Amino acid sequence: MTPHPSLGEFEQLVLLAVLRLREGAYGMAVRRELQVRARRDVAIGAVYATLDRMQAKGLVRSQERAGGATRESRPRRCFEVTASGRRALRHAHDTVARLTAGLESELGLS
């Protein structure tokens, strides 16, 4: 049994995007970060559904902030990665690193 919550591929991408955006990690910013850096054009609903699932697992937390006129005064829901989320990311990264060790030439990484 693993002590860390397991992360799906999309969950890892969303967590990393939230981590990169720091203070400005709200739904649409996460969506744009995924589009630019991961080259994944995803629906905003998929981003929110994933963030909601990860919040239930304790990997992220959110708080509402006031929105501007372009949002018709609707609030922004800003997310941040929790310590548990960082541990889960580190665990996922270490797992990939262990499995790819020695395969650099086969994967064209060297």
Partner 1 sequence: MNALERFGLAALAFLAPPETREALIGDLLEERAMRCEEGVKPSAAGAWLLRQCAHSVPPLLLLRARRAGPRRLALASAGALVAAAAMHATQQSGWRWLLSLVPLRADHEPPPVLALVFGLSQCVAALMVALLLLRLTRSGGRT
Nearer of residues 28 and 36 to partner 1, judged by Cβ = 28
Q: Could you tell me the smallest distance in angstroms from the CB atom of residue 76 to partner 1?
A: 6
Nearer of residues 77 and 91 to partner 1, judged by Cβ = 77
Q: Residue 42 CB: number of other CB atoms within 10 A? A: 16
Task: Give the span between the Cα atoms of 82 and 15, in whole angstroms.
Answer: 10
Q: Could you tell me the smallest distance in angstroms from the CB atom of residue 58 to partner 1?
A: 12
Nearer of residues 68 and 108 to partner 1, judged by Cβ = 68
**89 phi/psi in degrees, rounded to 5:** -65, -45
**Which are the contacts of 22, defined by CB distance < 8 A and separation ≥ 6?**
80
Task: Give the span between the Cα atoms of 3 and 7, in whole angstroms.
Answer: 12
Residues lying near partner 1 in the complex (CB under 8 A) are found at: 26-28, 31-32, 43-46, 48-50, 52-53, 56, 64, 67-68, 70-72, 74-77
